Amino acid sequence: MTQTKIIVDCSGTLPPEEREQVVPITEGEWAQIQADAVSFAPVQAGIYRQQRNALLISSDWTQMSDAPLTDAKRKAWAKYRQELRDLTFDEEPNWPKQPR
């Protein structure tokens, strides 16, 4: 199977007819693209963890005994927070919805 890459020149330095091109790539270039994607996965997982942690921190108040919430709302927030903790980051997570 022949792989291709798209060249997009956003700087405007190429003539208009060359700003978007689909060109064949070598097997070596394809291997490097795949390796880069694999090496980026842990970085992306770290970004997702940071987002998850920020959501947990921003909802800490919901679990305080003096929070102005009904028992049902407190339980809904506790469930949401557990769903955040249960997320896996091997692919883009399915983020739970915050209670209203």
Label residues 27-64 b or e (16+ Cβ within 10 Å = b): eeebeeeeeeeeeeeeeeeeebeeebeebeeebeebee
The pTM is what? 0.59
Domain spans, the chain? 4-86
Per-residue pLDDT of the chain (100 residues; tens, 9 = 90+): 555 555 555 566 767 666 666 667 777 877 777 777 666 667 788 888 889 999 999 999 999 999 999 999 999 999 999 999 999 887 788 899 999 8
Q: Residues with Cβ < 8 Å from 56, sequence gap 6 or more?
A: 81, 84, 85
**pLDDT at residue 97 in the model:** 94
